[in-house]
Amino acid sequence: MDRRLLPRLFLVFVLPIVAACGAGKGKTVRMVPSAPATVLLAPPQLPPVIVEDPVLTLISQSDSHFKAGQRELELGHVGGAKVEFDRAVNVLLESPYGGRTEPRIREYFDRLVDRISTYEVKALAEGDGFTEKQYEPASIDELLAMSATLVPEPAPALTDTVKSDLQSGEHDIPIPLNRRVLAFIELFQGRLHGFLEEGMRRGSKYLPMIQNVFRAEGLPLDLAYVPLVESAFKPNALSRAKAKGVWQFMRGTGVENGLRQDWYIDERSDPEKATVAAAKYLRALAKIFDGDWHLALASYNGGPGRLQRAVKATRLDDFWRLAEKKRVLPRETRDYVPMILAAIVIARNPAQYGFDFETEPPHVYDTVTLPRPVDLRRVAEWADTTIGEIQALNPELRRWTTPVNSDAYDLKVPVGTAATVKARLEEASTHDLASLNWYTVKKGDTLIKIARLLRVSRTDLAEANYMKVTARVMAGTKLMVPRESTVLMAARTDRTVPVADSRALAPDAVVATVESSSSDRVRVFYEVKRGDTLASIARIFRTTVASLQTWNRIPGTQILAGQRLTIYTARAN
C-alpha cells in the first residue's frame, strides 16, 4: 500500500468518531457525511403508535346509527328509523361501560335520548299517520282575484297572431276573437307566463289519460285543458270554497258524480277517477244548455242553477251577452269563460305564444291488493322508496293509512315493486302493518265521553269508524281510535327493570303482545285509577313522566280516571 494514503484513511475512519464524541460534550462539528455513512449511523425510525380510545369509538358507532335514523325519518321510514335509533342506544348499553358508568358515555347517552325524544315530540306535534295530509292552494282563487285589476289591453299584433292561429288549427269549442279572450292571452304571455308554463308541463303527464276518457265519452278534447286554470293540474289543490283536486269538485258535486269521500279517502284528488266524474258532469251541463259550451263552462264555475236563473231572467241564451249584464253574473264567472278559452288557445299551440317546456311521462305503477289496513310508511320501506312517492301514486288517500273497514284496497306502488310488497305483506304481523289503537265501548259510554277520555276529536272518532257524530254506541263495540303513538326508540334504559308478567307491574295492568319475536320489550296498557298521577305511574313502571307524555300524546300532566295509557317496558329474559 502506498504510505501516502494512510493519513487519508485515518481521517475517513477517525473523524466521524471524533465528531460523535465532540457532539456529546456540547461541541458542534459541522460535517456532511456521505450517503452510505448516514444510512449506517442513523437510528431506525419507528412508526408512531396510535392508541385508539374505546369510548370515542363507541360514541362514533352510536352516532353513525343515529344519523342513519335521521335519514330514514326524512324518507318517511319510521320502521327503519326505529331500528337505527335502537342500535344507537344498544351500542352503548351493551358495551362494557353500559350507558351511565363512564362520564363521557353518560353525557353522550343523555344527549342521544334527548335528541330521539325531540324527534318523537316533533312527530307527535306535527301529527301522526292519522293526520290529514297537507293540500296546496288552488290556482283558480288567485287567477280570478288577479283578473279584477291585472288584465291588460291586448297588443294590436296579438289579434293577428291569434287570428292566424285559429284559422290554421282546429278547435272543437268555439273560440271568439274578442277583447276579453285576447286580454287573457296577453296576461298569460306576460305576467303569468311562468305559471301557465309550469301548469302545462305538469299537465302533460295527465293529458293522454284525460283525452282518452273524453274521446270515449264523445266530449270536445279542448275541455282537457280546463284543469290548467282550475288547479294547474295539482291533485292536492284545495280552493277557499273547499273544492278539491285537478277538476276542483265541490263535495256535493263529487258525490253526485260518483266520487267516494270519507275519513280515509277523497276520490276528488285522484286524477283518473275525477276525470271520469268530470266527463259525466260536463256532459250533463252541455245537455242542460243545449250543447252551448260557453254556458256550460260558466255553469261549471257558477253552478247550473245560477246560469239557468240568469238565462230565464234576461231571456238571453248567449254567454257573452249575459256577461255584459254585470248584475246578472258575478265577476268571477264572467272572467272564468274567457280565461279558460285563452288557456286552451295557448295550450293547443304553446310554441306560437313563446312557451317552451319538456313534457313529463304519464304515471306508471303496479297495483297491490291489500286485505288489511296498511301504513303507507311501511309500504315505502318495502318498496325502497319515499312516503312522498307512495302518496303521489295514491293521492286519493287523505292519511298515511289505507281504509280500516274495507275488505280490500288496491294500492299503487312503483313499477317492479309489487312482488316485494306482497311478500312483505304476507310476512308482517297485523301490528307491523298499521299502528292501530282500539277501544272497547263500555256500558254508559257515548261518543262524546269516549272522545274526551281518549283526547281525540269526536268528529274524527265517528268518521274513522264510519259513524255519524250523533250515533249511539253499543257496549262491546270496538272503535278504532284515530291516534297513533309514534315510538321511535324502545323503552330500554338503565332505569327500566325486567318484568315477568302483569302482576309484577301494577294492578289492572294488561300486557299486550310482544312487537316481534326478537323484541325485548312489551307494550302494556294501564287504566288510570282515581288518585293516580303521571309521576306515580312512572314510578310504578320505572320510567319517566316525559316518556308517558310522549307515548300517549299528553301535552300536560293532567290525566283522568279511566283513561287508558300505553306504556313500553322491558320483557323478562
Instruction: Return the H-helix or E-strand segment holding 200.
Output: helix 193-203
Confidence (pLDDT) at 285: 97
Confidence (pLDDT) at 196: 96
- Are 117 and 180 in a shared domain? no
Cell numbers linked to 376: 303507507
State pLDDT tens for residues 406-445.
678 999 999 999 999 999 998 887 766 776 777 889 999 9
- Are 99 and 150 in a shared domain? no
Instruction: Band the pLDDT of 484: cuts 50, 70, 90.
Output: low
- pLDDT > 70 fraction of the chain, expressed in percent and rounded: 79
Confidence (pLDDT) at 80: 76
Cell numbers linked to 179: 277583447
> How far apart, in Å, are the Cα atoms of 305 and each of 248, 279, 288, 295?
18, 19, 10, 12
Q: Is residue 334 part of a domain?
A: yes
The rounded distance, in Å, linking the Cα atoms of 86 and 88 is 5
Q: Which residues sit opposite 481 in a β-bridge?
A: 437
The rounded distance, in Å, linking the Cα atoms of 394 and 411 is 7
Confidence (pLDDT) at 24: 44
Q: Is residue 446 part of a domain?
A: no
Q: Is residue 320 part of a domain?
A: yes
Q: Is residue 314 part of a domain?
A: yes
- Any idea which of 56-65, 103-112, 172-181 has the lowest mean pLDDT? 103-112
- Any idea which of 301-315, 448-462, 543-557 has the lowest mean pLDDT? 543-557
Instruction: Band the pLDDT of 516: cuts 50, 70, 90.
Output: very low
Q: ∠ CA 138-139-141 to the nearest 5 degrees?
A: 80
State pLDDT tens for residues 3-37.
444 444 344 444 344 344 444 444 444 444 444 44
Q: Is residue 478 part of a domain?
A: no
- Are 177 and 322 in a shared domain? yes
Range of the domain at 569: 490-573
Q: Which of 126, 158, 189 is the last residue of a domain?
A: 126
Cell numbers linked to 153: 289591453
Q: Is residue 46 part of a domain?
A: no
* Arithmetic mean of pLDDT, 499-523: 39
Helices (H), 303-438: 304-314, 319-323, 331-348, 376-382, 387-393, 418-427, 430-433
Confidence (pLDDT) at 14: 41
Between 546 and 483, the higher pLDDT residue? 546
Confidence (pLDDT) at 490: 53
Whether 230 is catalytic is: yes
Catalytic residue among 230, 267, 389, 396: 230
- Are 173 and 99 in a shared domain? no
State pLDDT tens for residues 63-76.
999 888 888 877 76
- Are 308 and 376 in a shared domain? no
State pLDDT tens for residues 236-262.
999 999 999 999 999 999 999 999 999
Q: Residue 195 above 90 pLDDT?
A: yes
Strands 136-137, 564-570: parallel, antiparallel or unpaired by DSSP? unpaired
Instruction: Band the pLDDT of 404: cuts 50, 70, 90.
Output: confident
Q: Residue 500 above 70 pLDDT?
A: no
The CATH number for 298's domain is 1.10.530.10
- Are 284 and 186 in a shared domain? yes
State pLDDT tens for residues 136-173.
999 999 898 888 777 778 888 899 999 999 988 889 99
- Any idea which of 201-215, 218-232, 505-519 has the lowest mean pLDDT? 505-519
**How far from chain centre, in Å, is Cα 323?**
43
- Are 36 and 161 in a shared domain? no
Q: Which residues sit opposite 401 in a β-bridge?
A: 375
Please, are residues 521 and 515 in contact by the beta-carbon 8 Å criterion? yes
Q: Is residue 445 part of a domain?
A: no
State pLDDT tens for residues 321-336.
999 988 899 999 999 9
Cell numbers linked to 110: 343523555
- Any idea which of 131-135, 339-343, 503-507 has the lowest mean pLDDT? 503-507
Confidence (pLDDT) at 481: 83
Number of folded domains that form the chain: 5
Confidence (pLDDT) at 515: 33
pTM to 2 decimal places: 0.68
Q: Is residue 47 part of a domain?
A: no
Instruction: Band the pLDDT of 405: cuts 50, 70, 90.
Output: confident
